Amino acid sequence: MKIHAYAKINMALDVVSEREDGYHELKMIMSPISLHDLIFVDIINEGITITSNSTRLPTDERNIMYKVAQAIIDKYEIKQGVSIHCFKHIPTQAGLAGGSADGAAVIKAMNRLFHLRMSYQDMVDLGVKIGADIPFCIYNRIAIVEGIGEELEFIDTEYEADLLLVKPSRGVSTKLCFESLDMDTALHPDIIGMAESLRNNDHKGIISRLCNTLEKPSLEMVPEIDTIKQEMISIGFDGSLMSGSGSCVFGITQDPEVLERGFQYFKKRYGFVRKSKIMNFSHK
């Protein structure tokens, strides 16, 4: 079975507070985007095997796809196993939820292959224990996301925009990014305003509210993040922002000529440069 694993961007990300359990309370607006990995899942006699076109991807129990597959096998007492091949397009340490997207795709595929009749909530409940972004990637709908990623409030919108994704060669460790965050000086985006702008398809309102609390500590580790942002604006993109904990930056526009101009400029300078677009799977 072939299934698409869609990446995400954070159009706004607020680190609200630090929790007693060591995690951080987050409030975000996340959108699926057209960039995706291709996941192939098949039933085998026993065990879990993972292969990939990417040499950076672990293929043992450290892999999030392995973890969700094992969790499903254990929960539903499945006697057979699965072979998983991941054709990677989403870069690692980018803030695009590549790992969670892959994990969510495997959950969906195994649900169908083994006729488990898991509801969306069943899939979310299983996935959230393994990856914070898995619940969002299960639904693939523009949403306000809270808690550590398990609380979703969907936003009904017909908003469309093109994206240019540019990632510096250096990634950002999510753990180090959070550890470097100074809550006393942190920026806090207007999440409610961004949600309202999306509901109203208000492009200018969306652009004015692009903000990410984690951007400052990340660009201190990878200064190129800020360089890319500034270059995107000078090229003509309406807005630019780092996604998640980075290091991928997206430029947002509704002008195809700006998208192409940016693509031609950045593809000569960085290894990962991709055209993409805002997606919303509200029909699913």
Question: Which residues are annotated as catalytic?
Answer: 8, 133
CA atoms within 13 A on the CB side of 256: 0
Given a contact cutoff of 8 angstroms between Cβ atoms, the answer to whether 127 and 42 are in contact is: no
Q: How many CB atoms lie within 10 A of CB 244?
A: 25
Residue 180 belongs to what H/E stretch? helix 174-180
Distance between CA 112 and CA 106 in Å, rounded?
A: 10
Q: Which helix (H) or strand (E) holds 265?
A: helix 256-266
CB atoms within 10 A of CB 145: 23
In one-letter notation, the amino acid at residue 38 is L
Which value, to the nearest 10 degrees, does the dihedral of the CA atoms of residues 17, 242, 222, 136 take? 60
Inter-helix orientation angle 64-75/120-127, to 10°: 120
CA–CA dist 56, 123 (Å, integer): 27
Tell me which amino acid residue 135 is. P
Q: Residue 158's closest CA among 199, 192, 191, 195?
A: 199
Instruction: Select from 187, 159, 137, 183 the least CA-distant residue to 32.
Output: 137
